[in-house]
Structure 1
Amino acid sequence: MASRATTYLARRSPWFKLLAAGLLLVAALALLLALFPWDWLRGPLNRYVSERTGRHFEITRRLDVDLGRTTRVIADGIVFANPEWARDPYLVKAEGAEVHVRLWPLLRGRIELPRIELRRPELGLQMEPDGRRTWALDRQDKNEPRREPPHVGVLVVDEGSLHFLASGRGADIRADFAIDTRAAPRAGGSAVLPLTFKAQGTWQKAPFAAQGQTGNVLSLGGGQAQQPFPAQIVLTAGGTSLRAEGTVAGLPRLEGADVDFNLQGRNLAELYPLVGVVLPETPRYAVRGRLQKQAQVWSVSRVQGRLGQSDIAGHLSYDRSGAVPLLTGQLQSQALDLDDLAPLVGLPEQRKGRPVQAARRGEQGGRVLPDTPLDVERLKAMNADVRFSAARMVNVRQLPLDRMSGRVRLEGGLLRLDDLDLGVAGGRLAGQLRIDGRNRPADVAMDLDARGLELGRLVPGLRNMNRASVGRIHGDIELQGRGRTVAEMLGSSSGNVALLMGQGRISNLLLEFAGLDGAEVAKFLLGKDQSVPLRCAATAFDVKQGLMTARALVLDTADTVIWGSGTINLATEALDLTFKPRPKDPSILTLRSPLHLTGTLGNPQGSLDMGSLAGRAGLALALGAINPLLALAATIETGPGENADCSAVLREASSSNAASGRAAAATMGGPAAAGAAASTSR
């Protein structure tokens, strides 16, 4: 037995010797690597990196390496130059650096740096419109294949400075940062340290300043840090100020951001160059809410704030994952101040207590249509689908506007205001508006349907007269135009405008003024105004290139028929209308004469037909010379006016839109009017 065991070991001993030798070699190699003077390689490494990148690279004092699956390269003093075209001489200049390198990916030619730590760094980052970036480490030689850039995980800093330049974005930013030692964790802790910073410069060529606090571990690889860290910022840019506090997982793109914010400024439109989101012109605003980011989607929830004197609430989402960013959401207001909408349609911000039209008359000599250019180019910057509503309209002054709601859709430069629903004078004005910013100047089209508007509320300036005016007005507005401003769009528009009214009541005092009936006016001025039955009324205009030509203009009551004709020029805002009253009842002290309405929309002027009036006045003077009582004979009105054919009037006014005309006639004029409208459509 013993001899066989001896023979087996003798036969197997070479393998044991080889294994022992291998183990000794590995141990010796490990000991060699552990004790290897890595600083000997500093010079060759400096030359190798400089040659491969085409930039000066130098570890200035000492090099050390800690081997492992993820190897740590420790450099004491480091400088890495920028390309020759960059403004700053160095990409990185630091007191020290520690770079973590994964070894296995190196075998596939992939450089993975999960962590880079810098002590007291000075960073010079620059990006050019042609795509050049100072942190792109390959030489970009046209004769060499483009290499994949290193993949960097996180950057850890303690204190230092940063200079960022991006001429294509109008950016020139300088920042200083340092560890807040008062809140630093105990030695050996691995938590993210609080990093305070101050920055100033320009973004989109607009000056700004910011300060705040974040973490010293900055995610650079598009991923997130292991734990979101607190972040605070106070920023001012022009008339805009921002305060935000919350958590962020990665700073460069604010990955995983979840912050509460308070934003104030002069005009929401001023945010466009700062954040790239197209927002309307507004008065001063102050809003707060919660801002979150997941991947390429920003969401703002719990929005509460004010635009001018109006409250605002709702939620919004901004998705940058597509070729064109998309804004979606819903906004609502309990009380919307009409003055706060003035900048949206090109009017200047209104001062409280000053009527809108009065302000325009004082500034533009009577012109009332907004003539501030609308920035339609911004319509191409993003797409949108946002619903809005206002439960109550305030400070409407002369406009009988009660509420509003609608849906804003923007796609490829085409703005559509759909599902528009306005509460006007106790009725409803609904329809849609389209502005096509793809053309220059922009094309605009509107299709609005008016139903149930109360006559007494449409003319609030008549005061006592409107209290006795009762009736419902229906109508249609179809216009198409083009221009850079609202004034140009209306001044070039074509289409039709029709307003119809059936049975109701209207102030008799208004009619007597129109007929210049002295006895009746005196009676009502000394006593109480009364109302008379209204049989029908129609106002219809054909519009061509901004010129509104009356197709039907009539008001028929039990006392008077008023026929009208003429034009309204939307391009010049000039009025040229003539009204011919025909009283139906006999009366004395009547100087019946056509009434001319001229001037402008902002400053209308009324005058009488002096020829007709002079004839009656001359007759009165001649008779008065014989007998003063005979002078009254020239003013006696025997009432030649006849009832207007309401069916024909409604049919004529609605002829441009037979379908809506039949509906309006059936609602307002009864079966006879509906039948007349139907026969016309046939």
Structure 2
Amino acid sequence: MAKAAKIIGIVLAALVLLVVIAAVLVQTQWAREKIEAQLSERLDGRAVEIGSLDIDWGFPLGISVGDVQVANPEWAEHPYMLKLEAMQAEIDVGALLTGDLSLQLLELDNPEVHLARQQDGRSNWAALTGSESDSSEPPIQPETIRIQNGQLTYRDAKLDAQVALDIETTDNDPNERRLSIEGSGTVQGKPLTLSLTGEPPSQALASGAPYAVSLDAQLGKIQASFKGEAKQLPSLDALQGKLTVSAPDSAELMSFESPAIDVPAFHLNAQLKRDGQRWALQDMDLNTGESHLTGSLVLARGDTPELTAQLQGNRLDLNRWGVMRLIESEPSGTQSQANNDESPQQRAQNLLQPLRRYRGELDLNLEQLLYGDAALSDIVLKATLAEQQLNIERLHAAQGEGAVDASGSLDLTKNSLSGTVDLTVEQLDLGRALAPLGYPRLGTLDGELHTRLAQNAARLSDTHLRYENPTRDLRVEADATSTDAGLQLTGDAWRNDVPLQFEIDVGALEKLFVDEPYPVEGSVTSRESQLTVKGTVTDPLQLEAADLAISLEGPNPANLNPLTGWSLPSLTGYQLNGQLLWEDQQLRLQDLRANWGDSDVSGDLRLSLRGRPMLWANLHSDTLETSDLKAPGTPTDPNDGQVFSSEPLGLDALRDRDAIIRYEADQVLAEAIPLNAVDFKAELDNGVLVAEPLTLSIGKGKANGRLRLDVRPQQPTGELRLDITSVNLSPILREADLSKVAQDSAGTIGGQLDVTLEGQSLGEMAANLDGKLELAMSGGKLDMLAVELLGLDAGEAALAALANADQVEMNCTYLRFDSTAGTANLEQFFISTADSNITGGGTIKLDSERLDLAFEARAKDFSLLSGNSPVELQGTLSDPQVSVVTGELAARAIASVVGALVAPPLAILPWLEAGLGEGSGIGCRKALSEFEQSGN
């Protein structure tokens, strides 16, 4: 409004002055053309037309001008900047004779002014803003001004604004003449209406006189009113009055270079005062929802603007004022890339750069500050800005039982920040405080931090921090000290109540928040295990990515399970090396090399944590010694003599995850398990584990099979099938430190195992076992095998009862167990020796591991029967007892083995033969044929 009034005044003043001069000189066509030429020259050659010029010679002198048109630049939408139907002026002749221009009356009929500004800032009025426009003295001061049907339009492409004003004066009573301006339009798509009422316009031009004005306006949903007075019009250099701004509902402010800010329903009352370049809002009273703020704002414009703010209130919700949306808005294009390339100090410097031009003082007191889902209370901020020095006298904020206090000073005179910042934190919940900024999973922090900023650097001293994250069961106490290379962190931590110590060197403090690799090197020690790392991490607070060379060694990996939350096996002393990569929720362990005891493993691991966890592993062992699979000191019989352990196998860990694992061991050293090598591929898909192919190398033979486990039910179920072919026991027994047995009793073994399983432990699986086991052996000697398989006392007793010699060579051995619901029935048992055939039968209760078996030797030559008696094998699997059947028990013993008198099938021969050979002795083929022919 002030600019429009100023431009109109300039145009009219020039027009009136030229007309008066022409009137004084002569009223001719030449005079009109001279006036048009003078105005056109002032307007950079734009066309100026004056339709008529009449002089009424008298007292006062009357001048009438009609049909005045001033053209717009070619780019303007409207053809005219000024169009005036008629203008009448009355001049005091007496004053004119003394050299003064005194207008007694100025009447304007249907004046039209069309102002416009382009996107690049060019305007159609620029030619008029010369020295006259800068003068605070109005160019003309009529005693009476009348305006009829005045119109002013304003189009601003840069501001996206279009406004039309209707301007009139009302003079129903000469003592009550008023100026009336009614306007409407749009600004950035929001509707605008305004209504201004003032005293007679001639008073507005009276130098230094106060001019009462009342303004009501509405932009979108925001309403504003001003009632007061102005001086030094039309420049509005002096204002004083009551300002009221309100919005009955949430509204959107105008946007400039940033996104528009949403504001809630609010009501603001203040005393507005302007004195030249000094603007002040005093006695401010702002109410919005539950918020009530009071105070004052004073802005003194100039070469070094100065802002003084004193604000106090009960509550400020930044969410309601749209500030969080502004913070969360991402810069785009090259600007975004430029921000990513900047250091935090450069970003802070760019953010604080505009403060170089200002002076200021801030005194803020808030009972509560809300942003996102976070809240701070007892906010106190006292700061001053002068001579490009920012001093924070006090910054305090409370959060529940926690608080943060800070003070310091920053020097803004250089290209980079410098200064000091001292911070004290007491139980500050970082997750709650920083969640709205994208760091939701942080814990609680307290301690002291002292920072000194220098040229593109930040250094810490006397800094001790305590961090606790209950959701991750993590506590850390760290001392931080800056070094020439970066930052050194030393201290203690607890994870799942397991203590650890660390000493780590990381990169410079100012690089911590940069989205680029951050160097890390150091060691962590816990429970005699030590982890050393060297590499980089990206965004350490969120651990966005990592590339680390790691080395881990200790007495037992299982010691770290409470610390890591994993299920590492219990092993002997170990050492592990590899390259650990973490990115996009995927963990990789490459070039893995691990050793424990006499065993080793190498390969690659990959674990994806996106959705359901997925593990890929390709592992290889040169040597696997089964004794290394238990840590030293592990009880050999932790289940009170049970063969099948009741300890859960941990199958629940297979639920809700997937895996593909390939493992190969070139050499297996097993004292209790007859293995030479292992090769298998296991796939786990949503709780179903399938190991196929499953190949076990035993002696010179193989055991090929398939294992399937379904852990989805509460009681896991499974199936196991093994085909055992041409297994030579000699190398197995020799490697198991049973060289005498290997020399004296070795044979070739084969068979099949086909069972179904159910349970959480080996004990439960045995108690629910269904299926069959068939084994056959060609060759070997009975005495040593009996001793080894049944135990010393039981073996010797069984041998004495069944055979006449200390050592009995075997031609063929065959057995078949059929199990139903954990009860294994010995359906067939047959041993062929040189002198006799031994048969047997009975049951084994796998849930109680109790035996009830009977065996009988039948001589091939009846003269050899003397001294041989049936025997019973009873007791438990871990402690079998042998008893010789007496006469009264003979019937029961014979009945127990009667089902085993049928000869085993010749179909077992392919299990034993490799080509056409069959092992040592007469072999199974001849022994089975003789048995069938004898009818026994």
Shorter-chain TM band: 0.5 to 0.7
Deviation at 1:489, TM superposition (A): 2.0
1-structure distance, mates of 2:419, 2:607: 34
For 1:189, the equivalent position in structure 2 comes to none
Residues 90-149 of structure 1 show CA distances to partners (whole Å, capped at 9, x for unaligned) of 2x433448799xxxxxxxxxxxxxx99983444567669xxx7232359xxxxxxxxxxx
Deviation at 1:300, TM superposition (A): 1.3
Q: Select the residue among 162, 177, 180 that pairs with 2:465.
A: 162
The one-letter code matched in structure 2 to 1:43 is D
Partners of 1:49 and 1:511 in 2: CA distance: 84
Question: Among residues 572, 575, 600, which one is paired with 1:311 in the alignment?
Answer: 600
SS at match of 2:805: helix
Q: Write out per-residue CA displacement over residues 26-59 of structure 1, whole angstroms, 9 at most, x where no aligned residue.
A: xx8664377765432x224x64983665433333
Mapping 1:519-668, distance limit 5 Å: 521=805, 531=809, 534=811, 536-585=812-861, 590-611=866-887, 646=903, 649=905
Amino acid at match of 1:293: W
**Relative to 1, partners in 2 of residues 1:550 and 1:294: Cα closer, same or farther, differing over 3 Å?**
same
- Please tell me the residue identity of whatever aligns with 1:565: G
1:323 equivalent in structure 2? 611
- Residue matched to 2:501: 209
Q: Deviations over 1:181-205 (max 9, x none)?
A: xx15xxxxxxxxx111124332234
2:520–2:536: 8 Å Cα contact kept in structure 1? Answer: yes
Moved more, 266-275 or 194-203: 266-275
- 2:490 matches 1:198: yes
1:214 Cα shift? Answer: 0.9
Within-5 A mapping of 1:281-320:
281-320=570-609
Question: 1:308-363 CA deviation, whole Å, 9 max, x = no partner?
Answer: 4322221211222x212222122221111101234xxxxxx3559xxx9xx32xx6
- Indicate conservation of the 8 Å contact 1:650/1:665, yes or no: no
Q: How far apart, in 2, do the equivalents of 1:560 and 1:426 lie? A: 30
- Tell me if the contact between 1:265 and 1:285 (Cα under 8 Å) persists in the aligned partners: yes
Q: Which residue identity lines up with residue 81 of structure 1 in the other structure?
A: A
1:57 aligns with 379
Worse-superposed segment, 249-258 or 74-83: 74-83
Structure 2 vs 1, CA of residues 398 and 173 (structure 1 numbering), >3 Å: closer, same or farther? Answer: closer
Separation in 1, partners of 2:674, 2:818: 25
Given that 2:802 and 2:856 are in contact with CA atoms closer than 8 Å, whether structure 1 keeps it comes out as no
1:482 aligns with 2:758: yes
Query: Is it true that 1:175 corresponds to 2:459 in the alignment?
Result: no
Match of 2:575, SS state, is strand
Does residue 1:93 correspond to 2:405, yes or no? Answer: yes
Residue 39 in 1 paired to residue 336 in 2? no
Q: 2:675 is matched with which residue: 398, 401, 410?
A: 401
Q: Report what 1:498 is aligned to.
A: 774
**TM-score with structure 1 setting the length:** 0.68
Same amino acid, percent of matched pairs? 24
Asked if 1 retains the 8 angstrom alpha-carbon contact of 2:588 and 2:607, the reply is yes
C-alpha distance in structure 1 between counterparts of 2:733 and 2:833, whole Å: 18
Task: Report the equivalent of 2:724.
Answer: 450
Give yes or no for the alignment of 1:12 onto 2:44: yes
**RMSD (Å) for aligned C-alpha atoms:** 4.9
Richer in strand (by share): 2
CA displacement 1:263-318 (0-9 Å, x = unmatched): 12444345455445444443442211121223222211122222343222212112
Cα offset for 1:465?
5.7
Query: What one-letter code is carried by the residue in structure 2 that aligns with 1:598?
Result: Q
C-alpha spacing 1:325/1:157, structure 2 compared with 1 (3 Å): farther
Secondary structure of the 2:477 match is strand
1-side partners of 2:564 and 2:701: how far apart?
40
Matched letter for residue 886 of structure 2: M
1:385-464 mapped onto 2 (5 Å cutoff):
385-394=660-669, 396-456=670-730, 464=740
**Is contact 2:480–2:490 with CA below 8 Å preserved after alignment?**
yes
Instruction: Evaluate the alpha carbon distance shift between residue 467 and residue 196 of structure 1 in structure 2; reply closer, same or farther with a 3 A threshold.
Output: same
Question: How many angstroms apart in 1 are the aligned matches of 2:703 and 2:569?
Answer: 23
Instruction: State the 1:444 CA deviation.
Output: 4.0
- Deviation per CA, 1:217-266: give whole Å up to 9, x if none: 47787x723xx342123223345431112223321233442222111244
For the pair 1:233 / 2:522, whether they are aligned, the reply is yes
CA offset digits 1:556-576 (Å, max 9, x no partner): 345321111012222222222
Mark the CA change 1:300 to 1:364 in structure 2 (over 3 Å): closer, same or farther.
closer
Distance 1:518 1:410, change over 3 A: closer
Of residues 412, 418, 434 in structure 2, which corresponds to 1:135? 434
Larger RCO: Structure 1 or Structure 2 (Cα < 8 Å, ≥ 6 residues apart)? 1
The offset of 1:482, in angstroms, is: 3.0
Which residue pairs with 2:649 in the alignment?
374
Go from structure 1 to structure 2 and tell me whether the alpha carbon gap of 1:569 and 1:254 turns closer, same or farther (over 3 Å shift). Answer: same
Unaligned runs of 5+ in 2: 1-33, 46-124, 136-276, 278-300, 306-353, 438-455, 787-795, 892-899, 919-923, 930-936
SS in 1 for 2:878: coil
Deviation at 1:458, TM superposition (A): 6.6
**3-state DSSP class of the match of 1:377?**
helix
Segment of structure 1 superposing worse, 265-274 or 458-467: 458-467
Q: Distance in 2 between matches of 1:495 and 1:234?
A: 53
The equivalent residue for 1:622 is none
- Residue 168 of structure 1: SS of its match in structure 2? helix
Residues 404 and 367 (structure 1 numbering): CA distance in 2 closer, same or farther, change over 3 Å? same
Amino acid at match of 2:662: R
Q: Could you tell me which amino acid in structure 2 is paired with residue 18 of structure 1?
A: T
2:785 and 2:565 map into 1 onto residues whose CA distance is 56
Change (3 A) 1:290 1:670: same
CA contact (8 A) 1:593 1:613 kept: no
- Structure 2 distance, partners of 1:165, 1:224, is 25
The secondary structure found in structure 2 opposite 1:391 is: strand
Q: Tell me if the contact between 2:828 and 2:901 (Cα under 8 Å) persists in the aligned partners.
A: no
Q: Which of 526, 549, 566 is the matching residue for 1:260?
A: 549
Answer whether contact 1:420 1:431 (CA < 8 A) is retained: yes
The 8 Å contact of residues 58 and 79 in structure 1, kept in 2 or not, is answered as yes
Aligned pair partner of 1:383 in 658, 663, 670: 658
* Gap change, CA 1:281 and 1:667, over 3 Å in 2: farther
Q: Tell me the TM-score normalized by structure 2.
A: 0.51
Are the counterparts in 2 of residues 39 and 63 from structure 1 also a CA contact under 8 Å?
Answer: yes
Residues 586 and 35 of structure 1: CA distance in aligned 2, closer, same or farther (over 3 Å): closer
Distance (whole Å) between structure 1 residues aligned to residue 800 and residue 355 of structure 2: 114
- Specify whether residues 289 and 122 from structure 1 end up closer, same or farther in structure 2 by C-alpha distance, changes over 3 A only: farther
The answer to whether 1:337 aligns with 2:656 is no
User: 3-state SS of the aligned residue for 2:855?
Assistant: strand
What letter matches 1:390 in structure 2?
A
1:119 aligned to 418, 421, 424, which one? 421
| Residues 465 and 510 in structure 1, CA contact (< 8 A), matched pair in contact too | yes
Distance 2:471 2:585 in 1: 22
Quote how far apart the aligned CAs of 1:555 are: 2.0
Q: Choose between structure 1 and 2: higher helix proportion.
A: 1
The 8 Å contact of residues 74 and 98 in structure 1, kept in 2 or not, is answered as: yes
Given residue 905 of structure 2, which amino acid in structure 1 is its aligned partner?
V
Q: Larger Rg: 1 or 2?
A: 2
